[in-house]
Structure 1
Amino acid sequence: MKIVKQLLDFYINSSIHVALAVYALSWITLLVFNLPYDENILYFNFYATITGYNFVKYFGIAKWHHRSLAKWLKVIQVFSFFSFLLMLFYAFRLEPKVIVVLTGLGLITFLYAIPFWPKQMYLDEHQNLRQISGLKVYIIAAVWAFTTVVLPILNNNQELETKVWITVLQNFVFVLALMIPFEIRDLKYDSIKLATIPQQIGIKKTKILGVLLLFFFLGLNVFKEEILIHFLYKEVIVAFVLMLFTLFSTKNRNKYYASFWVEALPILWLLLMLF
């Protein structure tokens, strides 16, 4: 059991799980828009997510404690390096207009982890986008939405029509709702100066907000030219499961509650879409 737990921890800590979630949402976009399986953009998003998330999570640790890195972190560093190389391999196979959007998303990811503003502009002692009061969840949701919708559409030479932007907004709202259990979980760790949603309005109202976001996520379908019932009922199932996870969230839940089970919901959504 110890080996299984170590493997599971590596799977989560190395960002493979979150990368599969991004991969799943990207594939869902292709299915919704009736586009063929696009290995280049899907694999790029997968390896880029591993690279980006591990860069954000471990940049500070690697910068200041390189010589005393724990063994598991060194393994993740090596794993991230090879993921970065694979990301570059697939990047060279993408359409030029995708690269333009990627430049902006990459810059946001870089500024999310690297200090760049004077300290007096922050409510905390850090100097990166991640630490700006109340901004974190919206940055993550926006990057996910553009990565999982706009990139697959552009790489298949499709126009960014109204339906595309509605889907972008849907994914943005879905990811915001998906992060609610994480925000509640992190209450006992986050600095009060970060002004996270639960810190600002409390756990109960945060859960209500999460439920309202899910209704908004589903309601956005009415603005599409046509509603595909066989897709809609699968969205309803995923939204209902996420609602249950949100309502039963507490700051003392098992660490796998959000990091594994909640994060797995995009994968569940994809499986429903496929089968």
Structure 2
Amino acid sequence: MKKIIDFYINSSLHVALSTFSLVLMTDFFFNISNGYSVAFFAFFGTVVGYNFVKYDALARLNKLNIKKELKGIVVLSFFSFLACIYFFWQLSRVTKSTAFVFLGLTLLYTLPFFPNKKNARNWKGIKIYIVAITWVGVTVILPLFEAKFPFSKDVFLMALQRFLLIFPMILVFDIVDVYKDDVHLQTVPQQIGVKKTKSLGYLLLLALLSLEFFYTDNHHFLPLFFKLLVCITIALFLFFANENRSRYYASLWLESVPILWWLVLVGSESF
């Protein structure tokens, strides 16, 4: 069972399911129907993108031993790439063009484009912003573009809320890895300390909830209730986060929050 769970996490299937869930939540809150093309594109694209980010540099430096698990991840990534291409061609032209923008961010995050320069992942303090913006683009912008949803204040608020959701989640990862990450990365807890990082996370979650009252159509209790639940959950993960937590604390349990949130939303529709 442990090997199955480890493969599920290491192959990026879990984080891909979180992406899938967030795309469908965007559809839910804006009452749009894209079918599942964007959601599956996001799912398979996340598997390919995350595995490329995690294993490309190590493979190029020959620091990765070929194990059975890695062979499985390579095979899974290959078929995910084919599936990603399939769903990509089902998207509208505008959505495809926008997807390339976030593909560029992923490549910038991974590959050293400039001579004698590190990739963006190693630029001091910038990693968290690239990851959060990419998640906003894939889980908010792409589904709304595909639905030809007009840009409005509500779209901007949803994108900002999604950023404020992802940022504290990444802070949990950074706290857990505060002594494992290269000091040159200058992650938030490395710069301001764990205690102040947690306080920052709480403030961002509070800001997320406060934005709910600025929506044009803000008389629905359901969105606020579920966003309150997810913010409380992430705040608890922040509170109990420390450098001694196991890898499953963030990589499995924290990344389950969007999945559980989506399942609750789906369940609420049946009542």
The two structures have a TM-score, normalised by structure 2, of: 0.95
Which of 25, 35, 44 lines up with 1:28 in the alignment?
A: 25
Corresponding residue for residue 239 of structure 2: 247
Once the two structures are superposed, the pairs formed by residues 153-168 of structure 1 within 5 Å of their partners are 153-168=144-159
Q: Deviations over 1:159-216 (max 9, x none)?
A: 1222111101110110001111100011121111111000011000001111111001
Cα pair 1:238 1:268 within 8 Å, conserved: no
Question: Which amino acid is the alignment partner of residue 163 of structure 1?
Answer: D
Corresponding residue for residue 74 of structure 1: 71
Give secondary structure in 2 for the equivalent of 1:79. helix
CA distance in 1, matches of 2:221, 2:266: 15
* Structure 2, unpaired ranges of 5+: none
Corresponding residue for residue 123 of structure 1: none
The two structures have a TM-score, normalised by structure 1, of: 0.94
CA distance in 2, matches of 1:88, 1:242: 33
* Count of residues in correspondence between the two structures: 266
Cα pair 1:27 1:37 within 8 Å, conserved: no
Question: Which amino acid is the alignment partner of residue 61 of structure 2?
Answer: W
Q: From the superposition, tell whether residues 60 and 36 of structure 1 become closer, same or farther in structure 2 (CA, over 3 Å).
A: same
Q: How far apart are 1:70 and its partner, in Å?
A: 2.0
Cα RMSD of the aligned pairs, angstroms, is: 1.3
Once the two structures are superposed, the pairs formed by residues 118-267 of structure 1 within 5 Å of their partners are 118-119=115-116, 127-227=118-218, 228-267=220-259
Question: Which amino acid is the alignment partner of residue 266 of structure 1?
Answer: P
Give secondary structure in 2 for the equivalent of 1:187. coil
Q: Which moved more, 1:61-70 or 1:143-152?
A: 61-70
Give secondary structure in 1 for the equivalent of 2:177. helix
Q: How far apart are 1:68 and its partner, in Å?
A: 4.2
Q: How far apart are 1:36 and its partner, in Å?
A: 2.1
CA distance in 2, matches of 1:63, 1:72: 18
Q: From the superposition, tell whether residues 67 and 49 of structure 1 become closer, same or farther in structure 2 (CA, over 3 Å).
A: closer
Query: Does residue 269 of structure 2 align to residue 272 of structure 1?
Result: no
Question: Which amino acid is the alignment partner of residue 77 of structure 2?
Answer: S
Corresponding residue for residue 15 of structure 1: 12
Q: How far apart are 1:66 and its partner, in Å?
A: 8.5
